[in-house]
Amino acid sequence: MHASKKITILAVSLWLISCAVSCLVVPWEVVYNARYELSKVRQVWSVADQAQLPGRILLVGSSPVRMAMSARKIERATGIPSFNLGASNAAEFFDDYLDDVMRHVRTGDIVVVSDPAWLDISRPRLPVGCIAEIRHDCLAWHFKLLPNLKPAMIFLLNALAPPSPSGNMRDARGDNTGQDIDARAISIEPLAPSVELATTDVGKMNSLIRRLRAVDACPLLTLGPVFINDGELAPWQTQLTTLKNSAYKSGFGRFLLSDDVVYSDRADFSDSFEHPTRSAGAAWTDRIIARLMDRSNGPCAAFMAGRE
């Protein structure tokens, strides 16, 4: 009985330590990387803010935008100064990241936004304001009753050496200048469809559109691409159709680019279900260009016409 008490106490102690590690290590890791990524994005802003009026095309989002979209290709097609402001891992601090972007957005800008949470609603997000100041709610957001070993491993690695952010090779326009990650040998999990996709996202999208239009900027919200299972194509298409219909019912359907989102070819992705290769990113960029250049149904037709 005495031995069993010791085992119980040890198990509870290890559980509490794991919870504490999750609450302390993960937020600090996210904040560290967020501050680093935002510093790199601000270097692109220093160039973008010098662009002449009447406006610019700004690409906003997490690592898929950072890795796969091409501001230079969009600029060549449209004749409008374009900048890639994507920030790796921004999915975890997107609200603070978007606030930082909004401080630079000005009248006449076209803002292309891709928020990974629109397709992956289960992803946790750091509370607003935690990048500037760590509060108690910043430390509690990652708490789990059944913590896994990953935070503990991060803790041990960081105890030996400071965390180093991922490579951030980009040109003055913000485009990726590094090579595709050759990770075809790595098995990646496809993204499963969510039945809450439309109901969860429509309100957030509508709010973002109002926010951008309030400063006389034109929004274009874009989804994907994401890697899925062949067998889940039908439920995915159902969810995307429902989302699109809900967007039109809410009055902002023309601001949403939701076609050609799902891919089932592993060769189109590198090391994650949301990290397209350069070729898949080129197709995504082409869809954005086509929507912007659409003089009849494009959301920013008036903005584009003013530059002819």
Q: Greater confidence, 224 or 69?
A: 69
Looking at residue 202, its pLDDT comes to: 87
Residue 199 lies in a domain: yes
Strand partners, 220: 112
* DSSP for residue 257: E
Q: Is residue 285 part of a domain?
A: yes
What is the separation, in whole angstroms, between the first and last Cα of the chain? 84
The answer to the question of residue 20 being in a domain is: no
| Per-residue CA distances from 232 to 168, 193, 229, 236, 239 (Å) | 34, 7, 5, 6, 11
Q: Sheet holding 256-257: strands in order across?
A: 82-84, 57-61, 110-114, 218-222, 256-257
| pLDDT tens digits, one per residue of 82-134 | 999 999 889 889 999 999 999 999 999 999 999 988 888 777 788 889 888 87
pLDDT digits (tens, 9 = 90+) for 160-218: 555 455 455 888 999 988 766 655 657 888 998 876 666 667 888 999 999 999 999 99
Paired residues of 60 in beta bridges: 113
Number of domains in the chain: 1
Contact partners, residue 260, CB within 8 Å, separation at least 6 = 224, 225, 283, 284, 287
What span, in angstroms and rounded, lies between the C-alpha atoms of 208 and 303?
18
Q: Single out the residue of 216, 181, 200, 183 nearest to residue 63, CA to CA.
A: 181
Please indicate, yes or no, if residue 68 is contained in any of the structural domains.
yes
Assigned token pair, 68: 């796969």
Total length of the chain? 308
> Could you tell me if residue 244 is inside a domain?
yes
Q: Name the nearest CA neighbour of 297 among 251, 255, 241, 240.
A: 255
Inform me whether the pLDDT recorded for 268 exceeds 80.
yes
What is the signed CA dihedral for 242, 118, 141, 66, rounded to 10 degrees? 170
33 band by pLDDT with thresholds 50, 70 and 90: confident
For CA atoms 68, 72, 78, 84, the dihedral sign is positive
Structural domain span for residue 213: 46-125+169-305
Q: Is 207 exposed, middle or buried (0-12, 13-18, 19+ CB in 10 A)?
A: exposed
- Asked if the structure places residue 92 within a domain, the reply is yes
Q: What is the CATH number of the domain that holds 98?
A: 3.40.50.1110
The residues near 207 (Cβ < 8 Å, ≥ 6 apart) are none
163 located within any domain? no
pLDDT tens string 221-235: 999 899 999 999 999
* Amino acid identity for residue 254 in this structure: R
Number of H helices, E strands in the chain: 10, 7
- Number of Cβ within 10 Å of residue 273's Cβ equals 19
Q: Is residue 273 part of a domain?
A: yes
